[in-house]
Amino acid sequence: MTTAHVTCPLCEATCGLEVTIDEKSLVTRVQGDREDVFSKGYICPKGASLGALHHDPDRLTAPLVKRDGKFVEVTWDEAFAEIDRRLRPITDEYGKNAVAVYSGNPTVHNAALVLYGRVFFKALGTKNFYTATTVDQMPKHFSSGYLFGDPQTIPVADLDRTGHLLILGANPLVSNGSLMTAADTRGRLRGIQKRGGKIVVLDPRRTRTAQLADEHHAIRPGTDALFLFALVNVLFAENRVDPGEHVNGVDEVRVLAEPFTPEAVAPATGIDAAEIRRIALELADAERAAVYGRMGTTTQSFGTIASWLVDVVNTLTGNLDREGGVMFPLPALWRPRRSSPFTSGRWTSRVRGYPEVLGELPVATLADEIETPGEGRVRALVTISGNPALSTPNSARLTEALRQLDFMVSLDVYLNETTRHADVILPGPSPLERPHYDVALYALAVRNVANWTPQPLETDLPQEWATLLRMAGIAAGQGPDVDVVAFDTMVAGETARRTGVDLSLAEGRTGPARMVDLMLRGGPYGLKLADLEAAPHGIDLGALKPRLPEVLTTASGKVELAPDAITKDVPRLRAELDKAPDGGLLLIGRRHLSSNNSWMHNLTPLVRGGNRCTVQVHPDDASRLGLTDGGLASVTSRAGKLEVPVEVTADVRPGVVSMPHGWGHDADGTRTRVAAAHAGVNSNLVADETLLDVPSGTAVLNGIPVEVAPV
């Protein structure tokens, strides 16, 4: 028996786990690492399933190439030769933009994909770049980019020291924190209450977080921006504004907030004006308070304004960059400092003219780009750890569009609803067959920590960084047999140059280990990889510290509280005040502790229990519509229609129905037997690809107008 200490790469919480492996390389136990400096023994059902994921017999272990409509296993050289043979003519004839990329959510949890994906993307040079960010958190990047100068400079709630937490559209008890890396969120939230603090939740659904909270207000979906503007209005009206010295634009915000009185927003939000006023004043009165918003605030029509207003309220109440407020983490890895402030709209999508954000176009328009003839049409697609056929709006349309591609390559561990359309599938190792450092998420951690995972188990599969370098070689016109060792050294040399670290200090290392070593050495704590290798439970770098104004990269060097790119969208929100709710049903999402988007449904331990893929309906609506608990309902929107079992529950607000996403595993040609046996229904069949948060291009997944009827 050996025990490996690994950082769980399955969600943003980055828990430390203890994995027991027997002499036959079988994972016999996975448990929380009590000595982990961050998670202190916490584990959730997903983390406990790491062994099941590793041993999943459906996980691909060899490259697949489609021949005569059927996948056959081939050697790696044959697979790369096929990619070179098919991809090159497309770029030669139609240009680089004819190849699109879709990068899925697991990418961000994988050091190799984060560090080497960018090498491949650069070599590909396409402007048709799509990720799961535009069905997730892009509004937060957008607003942070304009407020603080860098879209990755995102303040997080200082959970361990705050005394008052206002949560909007987030369910951290089951997500375990998102855009807020916080292992054992339940323990940390309870800590607030034990300190005598208060948690207030606004959510159309009485989530597990809402059940734990001191107060829950069932806000109407998509109206968080109105509610937040009313808080701002009250703060100014009651003279409770204290933004500090590093802030521009406070007067502009005051003027913008004038129409959004509590009385004006009450009908649309469904929250009583007196309650809004009280919530605002309690926030202002709290010694240490933080506002935190997530999916319900980002994947909706006013995602950017809501994300912006979360930080406007934090700033106006004096809680930005304050202990117990919201703070900027200082991760251990070197991070480039922007030389110019963030801007968006450097190019637009060909068909609908959506602006680029963070180098990405909205994935909601990917089908347009594939289907619409003309110069610049997308003819080939590379997917990386993504399942857009399930996870993007109007997925039936995207599925049809995927069939029209001339060529498709997928880097993925499963033959799933998306990769079944690929011509070549390149599998990667399991999370226990690769080394890991959480390159992205420590930048959002509620405490500064660093933890390295050495590769626990050997594998015959190439590491993904090597696969991506071979893909980059093909994309750069070097053919399928690029010298991976030399290429890796070149990439590391560039990182050494940028970090100002001598490359020879990382001698003897390759791939992500060398990159992480260089970035640690060039980082703010001067660590090196050997330090982390000697600390299997991680290194605690301390509580968050104030970082203003050093963290700002705006042109003014101040927080720009009223940037034009965001405030120009306020009239669209203002128009909402004149609209009365039409009485129609609005569909929202929901998340479960044992589920992570679409990609963990093939693990028996995580699909046990009853069917979780139901449409939740309030009893009043059920009775009005003739729906019965356990019966079947049709859900219809402009985009499509589906049928799903009904769950009648008072946990959803009247007028709101809720479905989880990531289900719908009943497609032909997949190889995920457990998921197929627990197929569920894909909620994105009714998500409307034409409904977007305008500035960020993020899909509206919460607040979709639908009709529900008994089947």
Please give the residue ranges that form the binding site for ligand SF4 (CB under 6 A): 8, 10-11, 13-15, 43-44, 46-47, 176, 183
Which has the closest alpha carbon to 552: 344, 321, 326? Answer: 321
Rounded CA separation 137/315 (Å): 20
Rounded CA separation 50/477 (Å): 38
Q: Which residue, judged by CB position, is nearest to ligand SF4 in the bound state? A: 47
Q: Which is nearer to ligand SF4, 176 or 349 (CB)?
A: 176
Q: Give least dist CB 51 to ligand SF4, A.
A: 12
Q: Which is nearer to ligand SF4, 12 or 569 (CB)?
A: 12
Rounded CA separation 365/354 (Å): 8
User: What's the number of CA atoms in the CB half-sphere (13 Å) around residue 122?
Assistant: 8
Q: Give least dist CB 515 to ligand SF4, A.
A: 22
Q: Which is nearer to ligand SF4, 44 or 256 (CB)?
A: 44
Q: Which is nearer to ligand SF4, 33 or 84 (CB)?
A: 33
Rounded CA separation 701/637 (Å): 12
Q: Which is nearer to ligand SF4, 107 or 176 (CB)?
A: 176
Q: Which is nearer to ligand SF4, 106 or 362 (CB)?
A: 106
Q: Give least dist CB 174 to ligand SF4, A.
A: 10
Rounded CA separation 144/153 (Å): 6
Q: Give least dist CB 504 to ligand SF4, A.
A: 35
Q: Which amino acid is at 390?
A: L
Burial (CB < 10 A; 0-12, 13-18, 19+), residue 336, is exposed
Q: Give least dist CB 48 to ligand SF4, A.
A: 7
Instruction: Find tokens 């799903």 and name the residue.
Output: 644
Cβ contacts of residue 112 below 8 Å, gap of 6+? 428, 434, 463, 464, 465, 468, 511, 512
| Chain length of the chain | 711
How far the first Cα of the chain sits from its last, in Å, is: 54
Q: Give least dist CB 388 to ligand SF4, A.
A: 22
Cα–Cα distances (Å) from 607 to 600, 701, 704, in that order, read 9, 23, 27
Beta strands, E only, 557-703? 559-560, 585-588, 615-617, 632-636, 641-648, 656-658, 692-693, 698-699
Q: Which is nearer to ligand SF4, 32 or 270 (CB)?
A: 32
Q: Give least dist CB 207 to ligand SF4, A.
A: 16
Q: Give least dist CB 409 to ligand SF4, A.
A: 28
Structure tokens at 334: 């070197």
Q: Give least dist CB 39 to ligand SF4, A.
A: 6
Q: Give least dist CB 405 to ligand SF4, A.
A: 33
Cα–Cα distances (Å) from 110 to 218, 509, 593, in that order, read 36, 18, 21
- Own/partner pairs for 604-610, CB < 8 Å, 24+ apart? 604/52, 604/674, 605/45, 605/48, 605/49, 605/52, 606/45, 606/46, 606/49, 606/52, 607/674, 607/675, 607/678
Q: Give least dist CB 539 to ligand SF4, A.
A: 18
Q: Which is nearer to ligand SF4, 8 or 192 (CB)?
A: 8
Cα–Cα distances (Å) from 699 to 162, 269, 358, in that order, read 32, 21, 16
Structure tokens at 350: 């060909």
Structure tokens at 115: 């560090």
Q: Which is nearer to ligand SF4, 40 or 96 (CB)?
A: 40
* Whether the Cβ atoms of residue 202 and residue 179 lie closer than 8 Å to each other: no
Q: Give least dist CB 15 to ligand SF4, A.
A: 3
For strand 704-710 and strand 585-588, is the pairing parallel, antiparallel, or unpaired?
Answer: antiparallel
Q: Which is nearer to ligand SF4, 175 or 616 (CB)?
A: 175
Q: Give least dist CB 348 to ligand SF4, A.
A: 36
Q: Give least dist CB 456 to ligand SF4, A.
A: 15
Rounded CA separation 286/152 (Å): 28
DSSP conformation class of 205: B
Q: Which is nearer to ligand SF4, 597 or 683 (CB)?
A: 597
Q: Which is nearer to ligand SF4, 402 or 446 (CB)?
A: 446
Q: Which is nearer to ligand SF4, 46 or 420 (CB)?
A: 46
Q: Which is nearer to ligand SF4, 254 or 537 (CB)?
A: 537
Q: Give least dist CB 136 to ligand SF4, A.
A: 16
Rounded CA separation 43/15 (Å): 7
Q: Which is nearer to ligand SF4, 33 or 651 (CB)?
A: 33
* Whether the Cβ atoms of residue 9 and residue 438 lie closer than 8 Å to each other: yes
Rounded CA separation 660/684 (Å): 10
Cis-peptide, bond into residue 549, ω within 30° of zero: yes
